[in-house]
Amino acid sequence: MGMTKQVRKTLQLASKQQSHSFYAYDLDGLDQHLADLASAPAKLWYAVKANPLSAIIQALDARGFGFDVASVGELKQVLAQGVDPARILNTGPVKTPDHLAEFVELGVRIFVLESHQQADDLARIARARQIRPQVLLRVQLPWTKDPEEKINVLGGSSPTPFGLTPEQWMPDAFTLPNEFELLGVHCFQWGNILCAETLLQTWQAAMPKLASLLDAWQISAPVVDLGGGLGIPYAEQQQELDWQRVCQGLAQLKSQYQLGECWMELGRYAVGPYGYYASKIADIKDNQGVRFAVIEGGSQHLLRPALTEQAFPVEALQSSDSPLTSYQIHGALCTGLDCLGCLPLPDNLQQGEWLIFSQAGAYGFTESMPYFLCHTLPAELTFSKSGIEVLRPSSPASHYLA
Ligand SMILES: Cc1ncc(COP(=O)(O)O)c(C=O)c1O
């Protein structure tokens, strides 16, 4: 979960070239992991929202992933890497008529419909352009409790704007426009599930309702898109997800329900472990019995701990034999919410030393709120056998303030 010796050496080198916080991504590690995922009995899409960095998209492209994009910005970033629009699908609760028209114009033909309005708008565009989009119906199921009883950024058991109930998609409630080819259904409500059995149970619990909907539409060899939700460990005591068990569960689902294909849109599980966020200590102090490490960066670069109350694993970049003590890690924002966790670090940490947060390859830089308090934006760089490459240097507030 933390840094290997080799990664530590590389980040030490990178830190000497950077004066501000930065993200660094391990492209060789990522490529090896993506090669291992090819064994899945499912068609794999990459959920670009997890990390839209060009080099990450290129790595997924090279390993044959399709791309799940949710905005025009993500779409253009994927296309700019040379990806064929036939390998792109569009999910997301907001698809305005302009958005849909631009997607169609740029060659996208696979859409996950999240409302009747989206269906009407896409049908109008398809008619005018004489195209035949392939669609999946996004289904939201009622659940009585969260499978892992934690804060769930996807909404989990609460009603959300993602999709509609199965009843609302039934042929008596929804008229499928003639322009569409209906491929199947999409259902995804839970994020970051680490236990394979829990994940399979949520899929198994969803399937009877999805199967009734598929039967009602009489789709032969239907597609079921299960979205993402495969977790990665963030805390020391957590175990890695059992990937082989996930693959067995998918294979069983396919044969049990005679599915043509299972699809997954992986974000966190595809890229999360291959990113690091590095930030320098600005201050160490004790206050009311609590030892604080205040870092130059913080939630403006890495917001997720403030959203989920779950810390990223952290280590000091310089290895040290000093005993560990608990630090409350705070960032540079003037709010108590800017807390990156209470974690053990060497007790002799000093101002100017770097902390490295691992598992930061997904939901890092672009999930954050970089403009608050006008701090410097973090650099983003990659490393591989060919060396370290800075894709975007850190930039001061004068670059984005009007
Ligand atoms: C529609 C959709 N698909 C896939 C994902 C990726 O999820 P994960 O990072 O859990 O794999 C998300 C994340 O929010 C999503 O909204």
Task: Tell me the DSSP string of 119-160.
Answer: HHHHHHHHHHHT---EEEEEB----SS-TT-S--TT-TTS--
Q: Which atom of ligand 1 is nearest to the CA of 186?
A: 1
CB 315 near ligand 1, within 6 Å: no
Q: What does the pLDDT average to over 361-385? A: 96
> 227: CA distance to ligand 1 center in Å?
6
Average pLDDT, the chain: 95
CB 296 near ligand 1, within 6 Å: no
> 311: CA distance to ligand 1 center in Å?
20
Q: Single out the residue of 197, 188, 259 nearest to residue 228, CA to CA.
A: 188
pLDDT tens string 101-128 = 999 999 999 999 999 999 999 999 999 9
Torsion, CA 95, CA 99, CA 103, CA 104, rounded to 10: 90
User: What's the chain's length in residues?
Assistant: 402
Residue 366 has pLDDT above 90, yes or no: yes
Q: CA 132, CA 220: separation in Å to the nearest integer?
A: 18
pLDDT tens string 1-14 = 789 999 999 999 99
Level-2 CATH architecture, domain 273-399: Beta Barrel (2.40)
Contacts of 320 (CB under 8 A, 6+ apart): 346, 348
Q: CA 190, CA 156: separation in Å to the nearest integer?
A: 5
The count of other CB atoms within 10 Å of the CB of residue 29 is 18
pLDDT confidence of residue 76: 98
* Domain spanning 38-266: CATH superfamily: Alanine racemase (3.20.20.10)
Q: CA 317, CA 346: separation in Å to the nearest integer?
A: 11
Q: How do the domains of the chain map onto residue ranges?
A: 38-266, 273-399
Q: What does the pLDDT average to over 370-386? A: 97
pLDDT tens string 32-91 = 999 999 889 999 999 999 999 999 999 999 999 999 999 999 999 999 999 999 999 999
Residue 161 has pLDDT above 70, yes or no: yes
Domains 38-266 and 273-399 share a fold: no
End-to-end alpha carbon distance in the chain: 40
> 334: CA distance to ligand 1 center in Å?
31
Q: What does the pLDDT average to over 189-207? A: 91
> 289: CA distance to ligand 1 center in Å?
40
CB 266 near ligand 1, within 6 Å: yes
